[in-house]
């Protein structure tokens, strides 16, 4: 994601509002490139919930890429 104030807050809000339970977060920012890499571990009820969570995070401003690992 392109780094900006409130980015982590907006991502965590998108996850928790959609009933995701955040179990871990690791975030690093490259100030030279203004990029943040944020890895989030989330528990969810089912795969439908996962799809909805991914779509909500994609809608967060400045999020460039999201993937399931």
20 SS3 class: coil
Bridge partners for 24 per DSSP = 41
Mean pLDDT of 17-38: 92
CA–CA distance, 37 with 11 (Å, rounded to integer): 12
**40-61 tens-digit pLDDT:** 999 888 887 888 888 999 999 9
pLDDT reading at 30 higher than 90:
yes
Return the pLDDT at 50.
Answer: 84
Higher pLDDT, 47 or 64: 64
């Amino acid at each position: 994601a392109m780094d900006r104030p409130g980015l982590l807050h907006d991502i965590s809000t998108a996850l928790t509002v959609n009933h995701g339970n955040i179990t871990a977060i690791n975030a690093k920012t490259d100030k030279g490139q203004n990029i943040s890499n944020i890895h989030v571990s989330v528990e969810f009820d089912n795969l439908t919930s996962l799809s909805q969570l991914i779509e909500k995070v994609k809608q967060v401003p400045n999020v460039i890429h999201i993937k399931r690992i």
